[in-house]
Every structure is written in C-alpha cells, then in structure tokens.
Amino acid sequence: MAFTNSSMSAVGLRTERQNRRAGIELARRALQVAGDDPNVLATVAHVLASLGEDIDVALALIDRARVLNPNFARGWYWSGILRYFAGQPALSLGHFEKYLRLRPRDRWPAYLVGVGIALFLCRRFDEAAAKLQAALQELPSFTQTYRFLAACYAHLGRLDEARELVKRLRLITPAAVTDFSRFQNPEHRELILSGLRLAVGELT
C-alpha cells in the first residue's frame, strides 16, 4: 500500500502522541514506586517538562529532590533547565552555579548549553555566545546549541556567522527552527524565534 506525504505525517504524529503518553505514564509509575528518591524525582521532573506537562508540577518535583538532598548536583542541574523553561533565567543561572560548585571536576558538557541558554534569555548575548561556542566544541552534534548560538549572533548583528551556523545545522537536521513551546514566557519564545528568523533570513 502506498503512503502519501500527508498519511505518513499523520502516522508520525500519532506515533509521537503515543510515545508522549507512554513516557508520561512511565514517569508517573516511577513516582509511585520511588517517590522519595531525589534521583527519580529529578528525572521525572525533567521528563514531564520535556513532554509538555504542567511546568509547576515539574518544578515542585525538582524542588522536593533538592530538599531531600541539598547536595544533589544533578538536581541543581535539572532545576537550572526547568527554571529557564519556566521563564526564570536569572534563577536558572544561580542553580547552574550551585551545580558547578558541587561538581567542579566532573561536569556534564551539556551544562555549557544550559548556561548559554539562560544567559541568552537574560539578553546577555556576548556572554551567551562564549558559552555556546564552548559547548559546540564539546558537543558538535547537539542541534539546540546551533539554534541558540545562531539566534545569539543574529541579535548581536553578526548575521554572516548566524547564517553559517544555520547551514551547518542543516547538515545535521533539516529543521532549523523547532518547537519552543516548553519556554513558558512568550517574550522569551519571541526572543528565540526572532533571532532564528534573522539567522535563517535569505537561506530559506
């Protein structure tokens, strides 16, 4: 049986919805089994936020993880991410700093991306660009780094560099612009999208 592009898209959307429901159900089961484990709480908080569930629920879970273990570095890391999703990039930076103090030698390379995004949302574009450039060296296939660095360059007026990054991104994925609905603050979403629109510019 032949599939048209529209039918294939419908299948893809149905599969995505099914995967989302399955992920949320597994996260809830994990809470029922080990709801007082900071590691489980942090993981579930991140999963729920990533799958578009209520950000306040995710924040409550990550805050509980940090209360249960204030020295839980991973909890502070995920809290940093959830805080910029919730529209609190300044608080996000504070939580990333706490993570760095707790893990001075054993850091996940992705923390640079998180710090860069938080700085970007604070409109500290020069500092954000430096962090995102460093992240790109350590994680050259992480697509979100390209998007935020391109948007950052665009807001700095460095359009040639922004468009070159978009070209490099499209070697990895055709989706130069993706869904930013996890970012709860509409001004933050517009800041990201306006930068990307400038970066994509004449390349569309």
Average pLDDT over residues 67-93: 95
Q: What is the CATH number of domain 8-100?
A: 1.25.40.10
More confident residue, 12 or 190: 190
Of 2-16, 70-84, 135-149, least confident by mean pLDDT is 2-16
Domain covering 109-204: architecture? Alpha Horseshoe (1.25)
Q: Which residues 6+ apart lie within 8 Å of 144 measured at CB? A: 113, 117
Q: What is the pLDDT of residue 15?
A: 66
Q: What is the pLDDT of residue 77?
A: 94
Average pLDDT, the chain: 87
Distance CA 180, CA 84 (A): 12
Q: What is the pLDDT of residue 201?
A: 85
The pLDDT tens digits of the residues spanning 115-165 come to 999 999 999 999 999 999 999 999 999 999 999 999 999 999 999 999 999
Q: Which of 85, 195, 184 is nearest to 147 (CA)?
A: 195
Banded pLDDT at 32 (limits 50, 70, 90): low
Q: What is the pLDDT of residue 35?
A: 62
* Rg (alpha carbons) of the chain, rounded to whole number: 18
Token pair listed for 8: 């294939």
Distance CA 87, CA 130 (A): 22
The structural domains of the chain, with segments of one domain joined by +, span 8-100, 109-204
The pLDDT tens digits of the residues spanning 11-24 come to 445 666 666 676 66
Instruction: Note the pTM of the prediction, 2 decimals.
Output: 0.84
Same fold for the domain at 8-100 and the one at 109-204? yes
Supply φ then ψ for residue 202, to 5 degrees.
-75, -5
Helices (H) and strands (E) in the chain, counts: 10, 0
